Structure 1
Amino acid sequence: MKNIDVRIGLVFLIFLGINGYAQKKSKESFDTKRNEVYIDSMMNNALEKGFFPGAQIIVGSKDAVFITKNYGYHDYSKKQKVKSDDVFDLASMSKVLGGTIVTMRLVGEDKLHLKDKVGDLVPIYKNTPISDLTLFELLTHTSGLKASITFYQSLLSTPDGSPLLSNQKSDTYPDLFDTMYVNKNIVYDSKYLSFTPKENYIQIYKNMWINPEFYKTVYQQISVANVNPRGKYVYSDLNLILVQQMIEAKTGKKLDELARGIYTELGISKIGYNPLKWTSIENVMPTEVDNFFRKDTIKGYVHDEAAAIFGGVSGNAGLFANAQSISVICQMLLNNGKYQGKQILKANVVQEFTKSPLVKDGIYRGLGFDKRKPDEFFKENDFGHTGFTGTFFFMNPDNNRFLIILTNRVNPTRTNRLMYKDDFSAKIWRQINN
């Protein structure tokens, strides 16, 4: 018996040695100092030029973290430095880190199938023009749906019927929103919106509640939004809104509840929808100064107006997180769905979702995941996603590296697109893969 114990002990020590060696080799193959110098230079230049007020960056591999740093401040007043616990509005990264990951879990459990049709699962779309769209088409953005619908603008009007927005500044249109000026006489639709809590109304901002009857008009608009040829790639928020509806119809549970279950299994807590329910407002990065709909600096509530209409939980947007929580998800995905000995997602499902099934048609897209045509920045097998607020995460399964960049470049305005003109995130991604 004693000899058996000794042999088991030796095997365990060998395992620890191999595992430690693998981590050491992983770190050795990554020149941390050289890459950190490059990232610091890029970040300091970006802050100096006003690409964004603040940022978090993590670089790692499937089994190690090489660089984790915070830069800048919450906003340009420079009163509050970015901390590791601060959470950013992820915008469209939510499409992957929320709706897609939940879908992957359900596909792995044989509860959802890529051939499932919208109308078969969601009764309100039965016998509509979009009833036979499949989960596969939604996830690959080949459904033919238009890119987006500004649902919230139907809740706004002016007393004299004049336009909500103008491209010219004037006494009537004094405040800038994106590239347009906002009518100062905007009226909110009292049939659907309330500025005090009401029974059954859903909170969409700190002082705004919506009548759920409004969703009937939203779903009606989505049901006839198939304006593009089916099979053509058109990136659309509506696709992931429908994925969410399919998930919720099939499981009887809400997207945020299903996502939270996965995050809990991963041991991450700085990620989720409606961040004020699980962190303090001081730990939430501010986004845009919204002079149009919410008349406020958005902080603690989702920036995306469609996700706001749905109470902050939507397939297209709504997640907030810090880089550390996302790094765990990256490691899980690079380890074929496994994290710390637990199989979170089925390995074959991870592989299927992160490939490019339509590359023969010139469509570089995974299932939910963003992929790029190989170029000087991106390789064939890279996968990840970006977000409108200035967020980016990508993984390279060939060398098992990942990069997370979280910024709030839309503060104070979405017109600031400097980081995109400079290929900022792509340059850092290229650097760490060299």
Structure 2
Amino acid sequence: MNAAPGSAWASLRSAGGIEEVVVAGTPAHDDPIRLTDEHLFDLASVTKIFTTVTALRLVDEGSLDLDAPVAAVLPVGSGRDAETITLRRLLTHTSGLPAEGRLWRTGMRGEQLREAVLGAALLSRPGEIHRYSDVGFIAIGELLERVSGRRLDELVGETAALIGAESLTWTPEAERAVATEVQPDRGLVRGEVHDELAAALERPAGHAGLFGTVHDVAALARVVRDDGMGAGGRVLSSESARLLREPAAPADGFEQAVGLRVRDASWMGRADAVGHTGFTGTAFAVSPRTGDYGVLLLNRVHPTRESADVSAVRRSFFAFLAA
């Protein structure tokens, strides 16, 4: 498989218990690097699955209830029936919240922006339709902090340690980070979150912002595959791990489990698998049937987000999960 011009990528897959690491890199900026499997990618929305596992850990501990309205702890959204939004609806993108908070374009930042995003008007009634929502996962991160009294990065750090994601971080060293986009107002983004909304929030958020290696994402995939077991022991109960694999809500062209997409042909092809993608080009998928999994970290936004359409590459890479 060849990387697209001006891209950097790494992949890891497991088939029949055999792990293979493939790395290459040809960044297009003025200071190219030779990519290794220790480089940190901006994981973008794969962050949502680390947030999901962290939320389910609190469910297992009894600190959260999947089906209790979150409004008593964190009012989310505005509009008809907003008070009925539950953690399950946030995790399955059926809360009615909008897909993305565009308020960062107004110049709002930090706490002011966070309050505006959390108060976003619902576009549909909770439970009515599936709508992929960054706003919903920002709300989940805030909910976890309020329930636990701890910062999101601390909570996710504990999850990472249990999983065995040893390099996972919100604040990477620039020299280990793979550069993402050259943006008009930020220049070459390297070692800082690419997602504009996450950057404007100015602290860890549940929808994007984590950096990790191919091994970190592989460790997450194994928790999904191994019924909630991680490198450091049990991460999730079997019941919670099952929620990651089983469809909970229908969507357009695929089904949605808690956190993960199920049989999403747009990037999984024919694979009977669960997984997730990230805007920067990241993706992982797991076949519950065979136990195989794959991790593909592409840098599709380098030097700009118009650089490459990686859908075909993803489908080709994850084809082995359909075998």
TM-score, normalization: structure 1? 0.68
The alignment status of 1:216 with 2:112, answered yes or no, reads yes
- Give the gaps of 5 or more residues in structure 1: 1-41, 156-191, 193-209
For 1:119, the equivalent position in structure 2 comes to 71
Does structure 2 retain, via aligned residues, the 8 Å contact 1:330–1:395?
A: yes
For 2:207, the equivalent position in structure 1 comes to 316
For 2:317, the equivalent position in structure 1 comes to 428
The alignment status of 1:238 with 2:135, answered yes or no, reads yes
For 2:181, the equivalent position in structure 1 comes to 288
Moved over 6 A (4+): 360-363
The alignment status of 1:358 with 2:311, answered yes or no, reads no
Q: Which protein has the larger Cα radius of gyration, Structure 1 or Structure 2?
A: 1
Does structure 1 retain, via aligned residues, the 8 Å contact 2:10–2:297?
A: yes
Q: Percent identity over the alignment?
A: 26
Q: Which amino acid aligns with 2:157?
A: R
The alignment status of 1:370 with 2:261, answered yes or no, reads yes
Matched position secondary structure for 1:394 = strand
Q: Residues of 2 paired with 1:136 and 1:74: CA distance? A: 40
Q: Say which of 122, 130, 148 aligns to 1:251.
A: 148
Q: Residues of 1 paired with 2:198 and 2:103: CA distance? A: 10
Does structure 2 retain, via aligned residues, the 8 Å contact 1:118–1:135?
A: yes
CA change 1:319–1:378 in 2 (3 A) is: farther
Structure-to-structure mapping, 1:147-296, within 5 angstroms: 147-155=99-107, 212=110, 215-230=111-126, 231-275=128-172, 280-292=173-185, 294=186, 296=187
- Kindly state the Cα deviation for residue 327 of structure 1 after the two structures are TM-superposed: 1.2
For 2:19, the equivalent position in structure 1 comes to 66
Matched position secondary structure for 1:269 = coil
Matched position secondary structure for 1:273 = coil
Give the length in aligned residue pairs: 320
- Give the gaps of 5 or more residues in structure 2: none
For 1:27, the equivalent position in structure 2 comes to none
Q: Residues of 1 paired with 2:48 and 2:300: CA distance? A: 19
Matched position secondary structure for 1:57 = strand
For 1:306, the equivalent position in structure 2 comes to 197
CA change 1:113–1:77 in 2 (3 A) is: same
Q: Indicate the RMSD between aligned Cα atoms, in angstroms.
A: 2.5
For 1:179, the equivalent position in structure 2 comes to none
Q: Residues of 2 paired with 1:363 and 1:429: CA distance? A: 16
- Kindly state the Cα deviation for residue 224 of structure 1 after the two structures are TM-superposed: 3.5
Q: Residues of 2 paired with 1:149 and 1:89: CA distance? A: 20
The alignment status of 1:88 with 2:51, answered yes or no, reads no
For 2:275, the equivalent position in structure 1 comes to 384
Q: Say which of 25, 47, 57 aligns to 1:105.
A: 57
Structure-to-structure mapping, 1:407-426, within 5 angstroms: 407-420=298-311, 423-426=312-315
